[in-house]
C-alpha cells in the first residue's frame, strides 16, 4: 500500500449509495468546525467607485487643514482692509449731557459801592449739552502708513498662496492613499486568482495521487504552496483594509465605507524639457510665491521702521455745537456752533535707541527671510528633478512589469501543458505559478507607483491637478 493511501481507500470502500447520504453530514461538520464570518452592519452596502479627480475633490472639501488655511487667508485679507482704512480721514463724533450740582449760585452777581442794586455778570447754566464732530487726515507720516498698507497687502497675498499650497499638499496625500488602495486591491485580485489556481492544482494532484501517478510528497508540496498563497491573501486583505481606512480618513468618509478606486494611470509622455519644468515650478509653486510675498512684506515693514524717525503731520478739524459753548462763554443758556481747523505735528525724535533697535530687528528679519527663500528655491528645483526621474523610472518599471506578466503567463501555460503530458514535475508548475503571481503583484504596485509618482511631480510643480 502507498504511503498515506488508507484514508482515500477507506472513502472508496464506502458504497456509492451511502456516499451521497454522508455528504450533508460532512458539510455540516465543516461548517460547524469553520463557521461563516458574521455579517457586519453595512456588509451589503453599495461600493462607492471613485476616480482620482473625484477623490481629490472630496478630500479638499473634507480637509480641516484646507479650511484652516482658508480662514487664515480671510484673516489676512481683513487685516489688509484695516490697513487700507488708515489712508482715509478719521471721523469721530461724540455727545454728552452733564448736570451741575452743589452750592453753586445761579448767577455771578456783584454790587457796586454806593449802589443798592445788584448786577448779574454771567448766569451759571446747570444743564449742559455738548456735541462734537472731529476729522483728522494724515498729511505726512514718513511713509509709515503707505508701507504698512503695502506690508498688509503682501501678507494677504502670502496667506492666499499658502492656502493654495495646502490644497496641493492635501491633494498629494489623497492621491497617495488612493493609489495605495488601488495597488492593494489589484494585488489582492492577483493573490485571489492565484489561490483559485492553486485549489485547482491541489485537486488535480489529489486525483493523480488516487490514480497512483504522483507521490504523496508532491501532494503535500502543492498543499503547502496553497497555504502560503492563502497566507498572502490574508496579508493582502489586511493591507487593503488599512489603505481603505487611510483613504476614507482623507475623504471624510466612515471608516467602514466601501470605496473602490477605478482610475487608470495616465500614459502621457513626460516633457523632455526638464529645465523648463524646473523654471516653471520655481516661478509658480505656491509655497515659493508665499515666501516671496513674505519677503516683500518684511521689506515694507523695514521701511516702516525707518520712517519712525520722521514726524507726523496731520490736518485736524472740529465742529462743536453745545450749550453753553466753551468758546461763547457769555451766552450760557443758548446753543452755539463753532468750528476750528488746523495742522498738528507730532515728532518723537528721541526714544533712548528704540528707533534704531526696531530698524535693526526689521533688517535682520528681512535678511533671514531672503535666505530662506533662496534655499527653498534650490530645494524646489531639486525636488522637481527628483520627482521627474522617479516618475520616469516608474513608467519604465510599469512597461517592464507588463511584459513580465505576459511572459510569466505564457510560461505558466506551457508548464501546465507539459505537466499534463508528464514532461515536467509538479514543483516546476508551482514555481511557474509563483513567478506569475509575483509578476502580477509587481504590475499592480508598478501602476500604483506611477500614479503616486505623477501626483508627486504635479505637487512639485505646485499643481493640485
What confidence category does residue 108 fall into, taking pLDDT thresholds of 50, 70 and 90? low
Q: What is the pLDDT of residue 180?
A: 94
Average pLDDT, integer, range 246-255? 93
What confidence category does residue 331 fall into, taking pLDDT thresholds of 50, 70 and 90? confident
Enumerate the H helices of 34-143 as residue ranges: 52-62, 64-85
What confidence category does residue 445 fall into, taking pLDDT thresholds of 50, 70 and 90? very high
* Beta pairing partners, 316: 136, 342
| Model confidence pLDDT, tens digit, residues 69-102 | 999 999 999 999 999 998 999 999 999 999 887 7
DSSP run (H or E) holding 140: strand 127-140
pTM value? Answer: 0.77
Q: What is the pLDDT of residue 387?
A: 92
Assigned domain for 127 exists: no
Assigned domain for 22 exists: no
Q: Which residues contact residue 295 at a Cβ distance below 8 angstroms, ignoring those fewer than 6 apart?
A: 366, 369, 370, 373
Q: What is the pLDDT of residue 20?
A: 35
Assigned domain for 193 exists: yes
Q: What is the pLDDT of residue 41?
A: 41
Distance between CA 366 and CA 304 in Å, rounded?
13
* C-alpha cell read off for 88: 482715509
**Residue 201: pLDDT over 70:** yes
Assigned domain for 237 exists: yes
* C-alpha cell read off for 119: 448786577
Q: What is the pLDDT of residue 372?
A: 95
Phi-psi region of 207 (alpha: psi -120 to 50; beta: other; left: phi over 0): alpha
| Model confidence pLDDT, tens digit, residues 381-398 | 999 999 999 999 999 999
| Model confidence pLDDT, tens digit, residues 3-61 | 444 444 443 433 433 333 333 333 333 333 344 344 444 444 567 899 999 999 999 99
**Residue 130: pLDDT over 60:** yes
Q: What is the pLDDT of residue 114?
A: 67
Of 101-110, 127-136, 209-218, 226-235, where does mean pLDDT reach its minimum? 101-110
CB 152 within 8 A of CB 82: yes
User: If you compute the radius of gyration of the chain from its CA atoms, what whole number of angstroms results?
Assistant: 43
Q: What is the pLDDT of residue 8?
A: 40
Assigned domain for 465 exists: no
What confidence category does residue 298 fall into, taking pLDDT thresholds of 50, 70 and 90? very high
* C-alpha cell read off for 37: 464570518
Assigned domain for 119 exists: no
**Residue 143: pLDDT over 60:** yes
What confidence category does residue 244 fall into, taking pLDDT thresholds of 50, 70 and 90? very high
Assigned domain for 290 exists: yes
What confidence category does residue 124 fall into, taking pLDDT thresholds of 50, 70 and 90? confident
> CATH number, domain at 297?
1.20.1600.10
Assigned domain for 434 exists: yes
Q: Given the DSSP bridges, would you call strands 107-111 and 118-123 parallel, antiparallel or unpaired?
A: antiparallel
101 or 174, which is more confident = 174
Q: What is the pLDDT of residue 264?
A: 83
Residue 115, preceding bond cis, omega within 30 degrees?
Answer: no
Give just the sign of the alpha carbon dihedral 152, 158, 162, 163.
Answer: positive
With cell 495742522, the residue in question is 343
Domain extent for 256: 45-84+143-308+364-460
**Residue 117: pLDDT over 90:** no
Mean of the per-residue pLDDT values for the chain?
A: 85
With cell 446753543, the residue in question is 335
Q: What is the pLDDT of residue 10?
A: 40
Average pLDDT, integer, range 121-137? 86
**Residue 235: pLDDT over 90:** yes
* C-alpha cell read off for 448: 500604483
Average pLDDT, integer, range 285-302? 95
Q: How many structural domains are present in the chain?
A: 1
Amino acid at each position: 500500500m502507498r504511503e498515506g493511501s488508507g484514508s482515500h481507500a477507506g472513502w472508496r470502500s464506502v458504497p456509492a449509495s451511502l456516499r451521497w447520504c454522508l455528504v450533508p453530514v460532512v458539510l455540516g461538520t465543516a461548517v460547524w468546525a469553520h463557521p461563516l464570518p458574521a455579517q457586519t452592519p453595512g456588509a451589503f452596502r453599495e461600493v462607492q467607485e471613485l476616480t482620482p479627480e473625484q477623490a481629490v475633490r472630496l478630500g479638499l472639501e473634507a480637509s480641516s487643514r484646507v479650511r484652516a488655511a482658508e480662514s487664515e487667508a480671510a484673516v489676512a485679507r481683513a487685516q489688509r482692509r484695516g490697513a487700507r482704512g488708515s489712508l482715509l480721514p478719521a471721523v469721530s463724533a461724540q455727545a454728552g449731557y452733564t448736570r451741575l450740582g452743589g452750592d453753586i449760585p445761579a448767577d455771578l452777581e456783584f454790587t457796586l459801592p454806593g449802589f443798592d442794586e445788584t448786577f448779574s455778570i454771567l448766569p451759571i447754566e446747570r444743564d449742559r449739552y455738548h456735541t462734537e464732530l472731529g476729522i483728522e487726515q494724515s498729511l505726512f507720516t514718513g511713509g509709515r502708513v503707505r508701507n504698512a498698507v503695502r506690508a498688509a497687502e503682501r501678507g494677504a497675498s502670502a496667506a492666499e498662496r499658502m492656502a493654495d499650497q495646502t490644497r496641493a499638499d492635501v491633494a498629494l496625500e489623497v492621491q497617495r492613499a488612493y493609489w495605495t488602495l488601488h495597488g492593494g486591491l489589484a494585488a489582492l485580485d492577483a493573490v485571489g486568482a492565484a489561490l483559485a489556481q492553486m485549489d485547482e492544482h491541489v485537486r488535480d494532484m489529489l486525483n493523480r495521487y488516487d490514480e497512483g501517478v504522483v507521490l504523496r510528497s508532491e501532494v503535500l508540496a502543492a498543499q503547502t504552496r496553497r497555504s502560503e498563497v492563502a497566507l498572502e491573501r490574508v496579508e493582502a486583505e489586511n493591507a487593503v483594509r488599512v489603505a481603505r481606512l487611510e483613504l476614507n480618513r482623507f475623504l471624510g468618509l466612515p471608516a467602514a465605507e466601501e470605496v473602490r478606486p477605478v482610475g487608470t494611470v495616465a500614459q502621457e509622455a513626460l516633457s523632455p524639457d526638464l529645465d523648463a519644468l524646473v523654471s516653471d515650478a520655481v516661478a509658480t509653486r505656491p509655497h515659493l510665491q508665499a515666501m516671496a510675498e513674505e519677503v516683500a512684506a518684511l521689506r515694507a515693514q523695514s521701511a516702516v521702521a525707518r520712517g519712525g524717525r520722521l514726524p507726523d503731520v496731520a490736518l485736524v478739524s472740529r465742529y462743536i455745537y453745545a450749550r453753553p459753548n466753551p468758546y461763547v462763554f457769555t451766552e450760557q443758556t443758548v446753543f452755539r456752533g463753532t468750528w476750528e481747523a488746523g495742522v498738528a505735528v507730532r515728532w518723537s525724535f528721541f526714544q533712548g535707541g528704540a528707533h534704531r533697535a526696531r530698524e535693526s530687528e526689521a533688517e535682520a528679519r528681512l535678511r533671514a527671510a531672503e535666505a530662506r527663500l533662496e534655499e527653498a528655491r534650490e530645494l524646489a528645483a531639486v525636488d522637481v528633478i527628483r520627482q521627474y526621474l522617479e516618475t520616469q523610472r516608474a513608467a519604465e518599471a510599469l512597461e517592464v512589469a507588463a511584459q513580465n506578466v505576459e511572459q510569466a503567463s505564457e510560461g505558466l501555460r506551457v508548464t501546465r501543458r507539459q505537466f499534463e503530458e508528464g514532461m515536467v514535475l509538479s514543483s516546476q508548475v508551482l514555481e511557474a505559478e509563483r513567478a506569475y503571481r509575483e509578476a502580477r503583484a509587481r504590475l499592480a504596485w508598478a501602476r500604483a507607483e506611477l500614479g503616486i509618482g505623477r501626483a508627486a511631480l504635479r505637487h512639485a510643480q505646485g499643481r493640485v491637478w
